[in-house]
Structure 1
Amino acid sequence: MTEPVAAHDDVETWREGRFLRVRLARPHALNALTPGMLWRLREAIDSVHPLGLAGILLDGAGERGLCAGGDIKLIASMSQDAATEFWRLEYAVNLAISRVDFPFVALMDGIVMGGGVGVSAHGNLRVVTERSRVAMPEVAIGLAPDVGGLFLCANAPGRLGDHLALTGHVMSGADAVYCGFADAWVPSKHLRTLSTALTHEHSDPRALVERYAERVPSDLAEQRGWIDECYSAATLSEVVVLLEDYPDARANEAARIIRAASPSAVAVTFEALARARRASGLAEVLQQDLRVSSAMLRRNDLREGIRAKVIDKDQNPRWVPARFEDVTEAEIADILAGH
């Protein structure tokens, strides 16, 4: 049975068979998340048991992807307190998704970045396709990866998480499965049939996904040699030198990307990821995310990065300081403490 669609704050919800369908419905903005959308997601999670439904099936409206992240233009226009409350709500939703006791199936088709990862990759059944482009690109705009992305990076094989966090590398669907950001690769042409099976067949959702899943090799898996060697260095400076000197153009490009990103963001990310590896779980990493995001908003680089990359689009951010080597240990400690 399919019931009428309810649309509130750019999120559509409806009962379809035994599942609650949830669709991020702001396609003109690539489904970028607003506070209202996050509230609707939280309400959807809380409604599954009262409605007697089996789980949630999440997807995104439009052809481009599930979600490009939080609405960073909106965040840049907010006061410090309002932005902090936005992040507090967002991270609470991320944690709630990770703790559901029912199937939370996320169709991670197309672009899934930043906050889009937060509302999908903490689910318990995550499906990618040949169209998937998954990334945590925050360092390019002056922010450390948040929404629990560092928890996922910390649990990726070898030192792949360092590469993902420090460069914002865009993963294919196969890469996302290999790195632990997704569970199964399904051709996009099968998503509609898979959705019908999930909502109407009384079978284990994971088995239903496996019915349509294919094994696809990961390009990142084949690059573990240089990634593990270079990113195992003890300091960020040593990592970048190893990448610059490594006889592989992909390593050299990674070094260039790190140097072009916000120096404060990459310096903080390097230490925050090390702490995420020692964390007790996702909740602790999300608490760190809230401290770090709030602290970085008080500084130059986040608003400057949003200006240069999203608003004015001159692609010429004026970072302060200009080099990560000039970010002091005291400054990193202050940001990690939320100051």
Structure 2
Amino acid sequence: MTTDISIRKEGRAGRITLTRPKALNALSYDMATAIETALDDWRTDDEVALILIDATGDKAFCAGGDIQQLYDTGRAGDFAFGRRFWADEYRLNAKIAGYPKPYIALMQGFVMGGGVGISCHGSHRVTCESTQIAMPECGIGLVPDVGGSLLLARAPGRLGEYLGTTGTRMGPDDAIHAGFADTYVPQLIWPTLTAALIETGDPAVIAAHAETPPPGLLPALTPQIDRHFSGETLRDVANALRAEDSDFARDTLKTLSRNSPLSMACAVEMIHRLRAPTADIGRALGLEYRFTYRAMEQGDFLEGIRAAIIDKDRKPIWKHGIDSLPDVAVAQMLQPLGKNALTLEEANT
């Protein structure tokens, strides 16, 4: 059993606590596997009325997936490890989204990437003063994944395209506005709330502790976001921003200029596809997997990790520029995988 996570039953609750605060509770393969095993065990356990997932430390609930191992294996030419990791992680995300019991996440500090996948698909998502939720994957040559593409597609207006391409961080009010969270409970009250959930097994106690969060930034930006991010492609977005002389347009263009054009263009396309009324978590994860399956071999992922995490020079050399990105590159990253398509059933090992 990994020491990076604590899994136990307390009262009426199945409890999962991430215990890697020094690593900002980054989600490793072993941690994801342990969470899935617990959820499978508790699904039919009558003693467990609800799931409560939280984390130690003040800085982060979970700042993302543990990408060091993905990088090391990918650099060595082993793409199978990453593909297996993503497939298994996405299966966990789907289980959380469809879990038959209340799944409550207490999200302090950074909640990013893989952290979003194990919290924001739950039935009850609780923020506090320090909550900062984001999908910053385009900055490392990935796309918003772990089902985050579906949350982005369901966000109001064109917020999804904006949040997905820029990786903008959302405080509690903005996260609730965008559909990544439900309630705001000051962190000082969390021990009381946790005790009530454990004792009663009833998620209704969350509402009794909820308060109004401090106002966020996104509602005021909505008209500009909707105006600039309504185009069909990433290039349309960039052109709309270039055509306007405003702080918002300049700042947003600067942010986009740092991220992988291929990733951002694919993110825009994915969000558009997932606005279809038939889109669900399975469709979103399947689409994300088409990209992540190819991300090391054909995308910017290894270069993105090198620049951000390994060499820390913050100077990635992306495969394409925003204006020179061929449309076919997006189509190639998102084309069906055939026999390698994501299945949400467990592999027989």
Same fold (TM over 0.5): yes
Q: Which of 272, 275, 283 is 2:273 aligned to?
A: 275
Aligned residue number for residue 162 of structure 1: 161
Q: Which of 2, 5, 24 is 1:8 aligned to?
A: 2
Aligned residue number for residue 285 of structure 2: 286
Aligned residue number for residue 235 of structure 2: 237
What SS does the aligned partner of 2:323 have?
A: helix
In the TM superposition, residue 219 of structure 1 has moved relative to its aligned partner by 1.4
Aligned residue number for residue 57 of structure 1: 52
Residue by residue, what CA displacement relative to the aligned partner does 1:209-248 show, whole Å, maximum 9, x if unpaired? 1111112322101211101111112332221122233343
The equivalences for 1:173-184 within 5 A come to 173-184=172-183
Q: Which of 62, 71, 79 is 1:76 aligned to?
A: 71
Q: Which moved more, 1:279-288 or 1:93-102?
A: 279-288
In the TM superposition, residue 201 of structure 1 has moved relative to its aligned partner by 2.5
Aligned residue number for residue 4 of structure 1: none
Aligned residue number for residue 32 of structure 2: 38
AA partner of residue 283 (structure 1): G
In the TM superposition, residue 294 of structure 1 has moved relative to its aligned partner by 1.2
2:123 is the alignment partner of 1:124 = yes
Contact kept? 1:295, 1:338, Cα under 8 Å = no
Q: Which of 181, 195, 208 is 2:205 aligned to?
A: 208
What SS does the aligned partner of 2:129 have?
A: coil
Aligned residue number for residue 250 of structure 2: 252
AA partner of residue 247 (structure 2): A
Aligned residue number for residue 132 of structure 2: 133
AA partner of residue 328 (structure 1): P
- TM-score of the aligned structures, taking structure 2 as reference length: 0.91
AA partner of residue 56 (structure 1): I
Residue by residue, what CA displacement relative to the aligned partner does 1:239-280 show, whole Å, maximum 9, x if unpaired? 112223334312321121112211111111111111121252
5+ residue gaps, structure 2, are 338-349
Contact kept? 1:292, 1:338, Cα under 8 Å = no
Percent of aligned pairs with the same amino acid:
38
AA partner of residue 167 (structure 1): T
In the TM superposition, residue 112 of structure 1 has moved relative to its aligned partner by 0.3
Contact kept? 2:106, 2:125, Cα under 8 Å = yes
AA partner of residue 17 (structure 1): G
Aligned residue number for residue 340 of structure 2: none
Give RMSD over aligned pairs. 1.5
Q: Distance in 1 between matches of 2:208 and 2:45?
A: 30
AA partner of residue 335 (structure 1): M
Residue by residue, what CA displacement relative to the aligned partner does 1:40-96 show, whole Å, maximum 9, x if unpaired? 000111122236210110011222111011111111112201100000000000000
Aligned residue number for residue 16 of structure 2: 22
Q: Distance in 2 between matches of 1:156 and 1:300?
A: 27
Q: Distance in 1 between matches of 2:66 and 2:336?
A: 22
Q: Distance in 2 between matches of 1:330 and 1:237?
A: 14
Q: Which moved more, 1:181-190 or 1:27-36?
A: 27-36
AA partner of residue 35 (structure 1): Y
Aligned residue number for residue 333 of structure 1: 331
2:139 is the alignment partner of 1:144 = no
Residue by residue, what CA displacement relative to the aligned partner does 1:283-314 show, whole Å, maximum 9, x if unpaired? 11101111111112112511011011011101
Aligned positions, number: 330
Contact kept? 2:8, 2:15, Cα under 8 Å = yes
Q: Distance in 2 between matches of 1:146 and 1:306?
A: 16
Q: Which moved more, 1:44-53 or 1:69-78?
A: 44-53
In the TM superposition, residue 186 of structure 1 has moved relative to its aligned partner by 1.0
Q: Distance in 2 between matches of 1:264 and 1:280?
A: 23
AA partner of residue 236 (structure 2): E
5+ residue gaps, structure 1, are 1-6
Contact kept? 2:6, 2:17, Cα under 8 Å = yes
Aligned residue number for residue 113 of structure 1: 112
What SS does the aligned partner of 1:91 have?
A: helix
What SS does the aligned partner of 2:300 have?
A: helix
In the TM superposition, residue 9 of structure 1 has moved relative to its aligned partner by 5.0
Q: Residues 31, 338 of structure 1: CA spacing in aligned structure 2 closer, same or farther, 3 A cutoff?
A: farther
Contact kept? 2:233, 2:269, Cα under 8 Å = no
Q: Which moved more, 1:259-268 or 1:169-178?
A: 259-268
Q: Which moved more, 1:260-269 or 1:97-106?
A: 260-269
Q: Distance in 2 between matches of 1:251 and 1:215?
A: 30
